[in-house]
Structure 1
């Protein structure tokens, strides 16, 4: 007689498939097809998009909608000397936990609909906005997310009702000076000097000592083609982060003013473009409270952790920035995850998938019956 698969077996099987078949942002074609095939096996209605990857599904009845989002893309990074797609971001786990919740909720009696948003392109920062443009928040009152947390934030078994991500924005810039012979520096405009001034600018950014923020040069390329040529041109990149959205706006203003002054000081031109702004978390107390009660109901008070505050970012928070009335929270699941998110050899205890799926099931159930 064939043995019936347990919930554990099913979730682990999904995770193994997603982990072994990663796809980068906007190219999650087979991932989307796999999720659709799982939904077909559940006889759950879903909607595909003509122009982007991703998929949304819905269960239950009622006017109002409780939504949950799972990000489906992987990173592109070097693993054992080979550049490839890699789920070091943990999105394979997020999909598996959300599908696990769907599996347990699909036959329950609910007062509201539950919408499952399988979102592309979280890592590039545009996926949430693409879903908002396609009206996935129609009739949604509450939105939940879920994400595994690094070991330094949460151990296996502990679950937090909210993650307070920081805001992040990236910049790419170009310096246009004049090349010169190494023996005649007065005839040129040295882009390396300008880069050093930019580094000093970043080290002297002062907003509020009680706020968490940082601004770093992450790329500098200045090459005159030979060791005796002073380079006039250079490209550079910045990574700018803050825990609050208003602080990162102040940092951007300070940096732009500094660039203008540096360009005038060295008589060069500096071009720059801000890229991939990801807002900081705007957590709803009501949504976090629902998640907290659900953690206690499912696991007990010993497993409840305080809300996580992390400098990492997530485009999940675009949903609340674009729809301020939305009540949202992302649940953090301890997994003994090491060495850390985005490390090419990231690993975690798979038992966390079962814990996350259980908590998410109870959270969505309680929200949909409220």
Structure 2
């Protein structure tokens, strides 16, 4: 298998360079969709795209056991060298390269899955809504296993190492509006100052307590009030809150505590406070069997000493909606070390490119091992392919 990876290495670098040079933000990944479609059709996959949204689903083989591999597609909107533009600083260009590399590798070594092998290229992960759309489109229907991959920053996993699961936390963005009463700044007793109301909310957030053994945080990340006049008590403000929790239960308690805070502050100040909940990302719940299969693949490629425990991270990932919405689906994400620095979402994020090849081999092996574990026919096919490659 390593020999074949070496043979397609230059092709994979061309793919990565193309994707990196042509980033597209969430829900606008149309050129990316077309590029992936052409590459997958060239390899003989049955490919499906959608008229109303970006995204690609590709299959090969048939049978009751269906194994899937998923990649996200979208870039971030960031300022780079003074210019706002789409930018792949979360590694989604690398993820697409890895997953497309798996699709190509398995075809080049002549692997025929004893079941259905499906690849999902999903839009809008950064918005937290892409996985939900793919589920709505039936992209996960009939799958038994679904594997994902995400590059890990050097602070979590070093180059040459990998983790069989990423334990992402739950994430929630909540937007708010405060309506008070305008007044002359010389007569504050006649008004309701929305800045004071916002300050009170910030102070009370620190009094929301959850289980101290479960990481959780809530903080205000945006606040706007007042306009040009400095001698007027402002009567309208907008704000945003970022909520993080390692479990879905802790997130529920954070949201409940926030509602109590807002109701209390509104009553004290006589203000009207309205909250709008945006998409909530659910916490990870990797399947034990899928995690074990991923661990075996990591050990086969990198060695037992390079397989690290599952990574616990406060970041969020909409990949976990697949198992949340379909509890029967067995999922886990490969956490791939690649010397990624200075960090995810930094506009100048870099990583060690050769580690992507390890990601390709690990995911290819976990696909083959998954089919082999559940089907005698798959075990025979796996043994034959492994002996020849």
TM-score (normalizing by structure 1) = 0.97
Does the CA contact (< 8 Å) of 1:224 and 1:232 recur in 2? no
Q: CA deviation at 1:81?
A: 1.2
1:350 aligns with 2:336: no
Q: Which runs of 4+ in 1 moved over 3 A?
A: none
Aligned counterpart, 1:42 = 43
Aligned counterpart, 1:255 = 258
Aligned counterpart, 2:149 = 146
Q: CA deviation at 1:62?
A: 1.6
Q: CA deviation at 1:234?
A: 0.5
Q: Report Cα offsets for 1:271-311 as digits up to 9, x if no partner.
A: 11010210010110010000001111122112211110000
Does the CA contact (< 8 Å) of 1:170 and 1:240 recur in 2? yes
| CA distance in structure 1 between the partners assigned to 2:12 and 2:291 by the alignment | 25
| CA distance in structure 2 between the partners assigned to 1:303 and 1:54 by the alignment | 33
| CA distance in structure 1 between the partners assigned to 2:243 and 2:102 by the alignment | 35
Does the CA contact (< 8 Å) of 2:301 and 2:358 recur in 1? no
Q: Residues 93-112 of structure 1: matches in 2 within 5 Å?
A: 93-106=94-107, 107-112=110-115
Cα RMSD over matched residues?
1.2
| CA distance in structure 1 between the partners assigned to 2:204 and 2:305 by the alignment | 47
Moved more, 305-314 or 8-17: 8-17
Aligned counterpart, 1:209 = 212
Q: Which of 93, 115, 119 in structure 2 is aligned with 1:116?
A: 119
Aligned counterpart, 1:59 = 60
| CA distance in structure 1 between the partners assigned to 2:213 and 2:149 by the alignment | 29
| CA distance in structure 2 between the partners assigned to 1:193 and 1:91 by the alignment | 41
Secondary structure at 2:24's aligned position in 1? Answer: coil
Q: CA deviation at 1:156?
A: 0.5
| CA distance in structure 2 between the partners assigned to 1:241 and 1:114 by the alignment | 34
Secondary structure at 2:138's aligned position in 1? Answer: coil
Q: CA deviation at 1:20?
A: 0.6
Does the CA contact (< 8 Å) of 2:89 and 2:345 recur in 1? yes
Moved more, 14-23 or 53-62: 53-62
Moved more, 295-304 or 272-281: 295-304
| CA distance in structure 1 between the partners assigned to 2:305 and 2:9 by the alignment | 23
1:165 aligns with 2:168: yes
Q: Which of 181, 200, 203 in structure 2 is aligned with 1:200?
A: 203
Q: Which of 325, 337, 343 in structure 2 is aligned with 1:340?
A: 343
Aligned counterpart, 2:268 = 265
1:235 aligns with 2:256: no
Q: Which of 219, 223, 227 in structure 1 is aligned with 2:226?
A: 223
Aligned counterpart, 1:364 = 367
| CA distance in structure 2 between the partners assigned to 1:112 and 1:329 by the alignment | 20
Q: CA deviation at 1:368?
A: 2.0
Aligned counterpart, 2:326 = 323
Secondary structure at 1:31's aligned position in 2? Answer: helix
Q: Which runs of 5+ in 2 are unaligned?
A: 374-389
Moved more, 288-297 or 6-15: 6-15
1:180 aligns with 2:183: yes
Secondary structure at 2:144's aligned position in 1? Answer: strand
TM-score (normalizing by structure 2) = 0.93
| CA distance in structure 2 between the partners assigned to 1:224 and 1:186 by the alignment | 20
Q: Residues 236-315 of structure 1: matches in 2 within 5 Å?
A: 236-315=239-318
Aligned counterpart, 2:8 = 7
Q: CA deviation at 1:5?
A: 8.4
| CA distance in structure 1 between the partners assigned to 2:189 and 2:370 by the alignment | 69
| CA distance in structure 1 between the partners assigned to 2:256 and 2:66 by the alignment | 39
Q: CA deviation at 1:182?
A: 1.3
Q: Report Cα offsets for 1:222-252 as digits up to 9, x if no partner.
A: 1143111121210000000000011001100
Q: CA deviation at 1:137?
A: 1.5
Q: Report Cα offsets for 1:50-77 as digits up to 9, x if no partner.
A: 2111010012232220011100011111
Moved more, 59-68 or 118-127: 59-68
| CA distance in structure 2 between the partners assigned to 1:189 and 1:138 by the alignment | 53
